[in-house]
Structure 1
């Protein structure tokens, strides 16, 4: 599926900038970054944000990615937004847990710009 409105929830500003640069290199999709998962959830519930897809980091302060997945799946109006966990974790148990919490996919964050562009293009082209 092709996504045109992307929300990234990640407390690491550098990771968000890296993602945004790769996205802009391969797509004209709209992009929003949120660095606080509690604020992002609130804006989603109030429908101030209406993404086609969410890229979610797991390791965040205040509300972890797993807590966010649980919270969003409990909200009828937003539970069907596809969520791609986008994390530094490489552990198979973490990947399986993310899927069991409702993540559509799990992608380990690449450090290579071209690899990131390829990943993003799979969702936007």
Structure 2
């Protein structure tokens, strides 16, 4: 069981943030979800707040200021987060994005779901 785990969602889309956090709560209420609105904010917080040690990081690819691939590279430079699973969470189903993010250190790749039920199934499988 994932007692007291923390998930960091890095996504610039407010609707996607709300849906993700609500569905995650329904799948596993013991996981708390922290949100960063883009890669710049996420990297800044992860480098300056030593107590911010998420157990999982879900990362969108298409964001302003710093895209998901750049953000992933910066996260992988932070020693305490080298073993933290970073899961790409994107609308893109492009094979090149999947291959490239894996080569940059992504642990997994989840395509954003169009329905809440599909997202619930996906997260339930992930956090079983």
Q: Is the 8 A contact 1:56 1:87 kept in 2?
A: yes
Is 2:67 aligned against 1:64? yes
Larger RCO, structure (CA 8 Å, separation 6 or more): 1
- Structure 2 equivalent of residue 120 of structure 1: 123
Can you give the 5+ residue segments of structure 1 that lack an aligned partner in the other structure?
none
- Structure 2 equivalent of residue 38 of structure 1: 40
Can you give the 5+ residue segments of structure 2 that lack an aligned partner in the other structure?
none
SS at match of 1:77: helix
Alpha-carbon distance change, 52 to 15 in structure 1, aligned in 2, over 3 angstroms: same
Q: How many residues align?
A: 125
Which range is displaced more, 66-75 or 101-110? Answer: 66-75
Corresponding residue to 2:55 among 52, 55, 71: 52
TM (norm. structure 1) is 0.92
Q: Is the 8 A contact 1:45 1:78 kept in 2?
A: no
C-alpha distance in structure 2 between counterparts of 1:21 and 1:97, whole Å: 30
C-alpha deviations, 1:94-115, integer Å up to 9, x for none? 1111101100001110011111
C-alpha distance in structure 1 between counterparts of 2:16 and 2:88, whole Å: 14
TM (norm. structure 2) is 0.90
SS at match of 1:63: coil
C-alpha displacement of 1:30: 0.5
C-alpha displacement of 1:70: 1.0
- Structure 1 equivalent of residue 15 of structure 2: 14
- Structure 2 equivalent of residue 82 of structure 1: 85
- Structure 1 equivalent of residue 109 of structure 2: 106
